[in-house]
A and B are shown apart, each in its own frame.
Chain A
Amino acid sequence: MATMTLVQAIARTLDEEMARDEAVVVLGEDVGKRGGVFLATEGLQQKYGPDRVIDTPLSEAAIIGAAVGMAAHGLRPVAEIQFADYVFPGFDQLVSQAAKLRYRSGAQFTAPMVVRMPSGGGVKGGHHHSQSPEAHFVHTAGLKVVAVSTAYDAKGLLKTAIRDDDPVVFLEPKRLYRAVKEEVPEEDYTLPLGQAATRRQGGDLTIVYYGTVAPEVLQAADELEKVSVHPEVLDLRSLMPWDKEAVLEAVSKTGRVMIVSDAPRHASFASEVAATVAEEVLDQLEAPPVRVTGFDTPYPYAQDKLYVPTVTRILGAAKKLLDY
């Protein structure tokens, strides 16, 4: 066991996978010489050379497009988009090429690639360095989407993503890159996509979350325990596929549910969870599903502290659920 931050777990995992499989290559802006702006690829170019760790021009369309080509021809590229906010010039390559390749070619070709991107707010990054764009990707059939919140999950799920034969969008909460250190096993392990992690067990209400909001959710859960309210807390970890069974089971147990994320509310993944709950276990509900999310505005630089759901907002939602 070693103690490490989330970003160190990413760097370690990339190193391990590149050592394990020559087909694994890394490409992106500043990923080579500089080691990435968050140092998620630090030291890889020295170790594996510029042919496998490629500094690209400032063109996300080129990064993702090249990755699709590499993937179709037998490599397993791991592309880094410097900030998730920058993905949109490459969005067409992701949606029109990566997501479609298996279907368009009748499975003659697949795109075994990972697109890593630091996501989410809470770092005083303003409009262009704080967004959580997961809804675009989960809405695109053909893409798998992962949204981790811990170092342990980052290692296990990044390995699974790299070894998957289809394109995986891998969202990393930049605010949590260095927030906490935790024990991460040295050995090679993988975690399955589509399996939620139960962070707390309780019978009074269910809190479903993923990614950036993890510290607020867990702190709110502790606050609730102090007043003898016992939440069941689920970290989804993976959004496509997502662990519908675990969520419906937890909601059936508690009758009340909130979904917490820092993405804008409108047509969000939180909305998808809420709609599924309403559609499939309506009879179990003792209150409407509540979404605790970001706001339907461009990410506001001046209100950085308010945009990401706060502990107070989560507790307010809990009160609403219990008093309904």
Chain B
Amino acid sequence: MPKEVLLPELAESVVEGEILKWLVGEGDVVAKDQPLVEVMTDKVTVELPSPFAGVLVKKLVNEGDVVPIETPIALIDESAEAAAAPEAAAAAAQAAPPEEAEDRGERLSLFKPDKTEAEVKNPFAGGAKKPAGPAVAERPRAGTNKYGRVLAVPAARQLARELGVDIAQVPGSGPNGRVRVEDVRAFAEQQAAPAAAAAGRPTVPYRTPAGYEELEERLPLRGLRRVIAQQMTASHLSAVRTLVVDEADVTELVALRQRLKPRAEAAGVKLSYLPFFFKATLQALRKFPMVNSSLDEAAGEIVYKKYYHLGLSVATDAGLVVPVIRDVDQKTVLELAAEINDKVARAREGKLSPDELSGSSFSITSVGNLGGLFTFPIINVPDAAILGVHTIQKRPVVRDDAIVAREMLYLSLSFDHRLVDGAEATLFLREVIERIEDPYWMLLGAV
């Protein structure tokens, strides 16, 4: 016969309680003192322990009900059948392997883990990624503390030592300009890159002599001057510049040009020596393709060019420019003369377009009208060489054991020894000279 469970007097002067929550279900086996139900009074919330062991047959009140004390709230059956249940459970526990037996410890322990899930706030939410990376450093140099000591992580300092980088020069991308490992690596790569050689190479410090500050004027390095500076530095740092000088007896060429001048003039063209030098050079380049080549360092390849675009160095008021005469092998002496005149004139007016100033495969610089015995020209990289032609003047030379006056010319060939060997360069220059010394022979093969 099931017994009634009455709502007890939960505390002094409490007359009723609200049934908050049933902790067992109908049909469940309950132990003596096992919590049955949560009850709230105006003073406290308590778990009501079962007054006896058995099976909970029926709940007599529902959650939310407010009931007076001494009210029956459940029926529990203490019969043999129900009482046998715990024994059966104990037997089952014994039969089962220990690890699967009920772990009483969970219930017994006073101190239990808090199993409620803590809220996780992930500061990386929103796709934030790992090391922010050097990206764009906001400062031109490393950040420092108030004593001027550089802010840098230890690994960045170590890497800087290994790479021979001055850590103070490295733009820091971290907080307060702190230098990180990526910054040092980026800085070292920038320094090493040939294209950035001019920008990243160690600079020569400039100091004004004391007392002469007023006698100096400073202008920003801008425009053509800056381009020239960069191009010259690139040439100086990249090419292995080597020089060969020779002389030519151009008495015949002087006579020929004198004879052809009126005819050119009749065609509206002022005839200089340059178109003849162009033709002689073209014919020599055909015999020595190495001199008309370039080095593609990134690809590790030598580029042989089957076209002949000759640059011509022109001094202008703004600075040096090098207009390019394209496809010299397809033009006559007269056509070359006209094009050279046109480009030199427009170079001095600053009216050449960018594509007229690029793409040379070889260059010629003529400094004859300014004086100087001969020069050591800077190669217009990535060309392999440049030919310097100088003043034509009568000099005493030995012909048939007699000293005679001849129209003489010095020629200097500046070449990149990485591509062209010395013997090759000397023989190339001889080929040019043979042609300008015997221009009639040269014209035999001219276009």
Contact = CB atoms under 8 A, between A and B. Distances in A.
A223 B121 CA distance: 10
Contact of A229 (B108, B119, B124): B124
A204 B124 CA distance: 14
A227 B120 contact: no
Interface in B96-123: 97-100, 103-106, 108-114, 118-123
A286 B118 contact: no
A38 B121 contact: no
A7 B113 CA distance: 14
Interface stretch (B47-55, B150-158, B323-331): B150-158
Contact of B155 (A286, A312, A315, A322): A286
Contacts of B121: 312, 315
B174 interface: yes
A287 B131 CA distance: 11
B153 A285 contact: yes
A122 B120 contact: no
B120 A312 contact: yes
Chain A interface extent, by class: 35 or more
Nearest to B105: A39
Main secondary structure of the interface of B (DSSP, over half): loop
Contact of B153 (A4, A129, A226, A287): A287
A315 B120 contact: yes
Q: Which of B100, B130, B158 has the most CB of A within 10 A?
A: B130
B128 A227 contact: yes
Nearest to A310: B118
A2 B99 contact: yes
Contacts, number: 116
A38 B105 contact: yes
Interface string B125-139: 101111110000000
Contact of A39 (B108, B110, B175): B108
Given A283-B155, A324-B153, A227 B108 contact: no
B150 to A, nearest CB: 15
B387 interface: no
Contacts of A285: 153-155
A151 B439 CA distance: 100
Interface string A179-190: 101000000000
Contacts of A219: 120
A229 B130 contact: yes
B181 interface: yes
For the complex of A and B, list the 4 residue pairs with the smallest distance between their C-beta atoms, beginning with the closest.
A283-B158, A39-B105, A123-B111, A227-B124
6 contacts: A5-B103, A37-B110, A38-B109, A227-B122, A286-B155, A304-B114
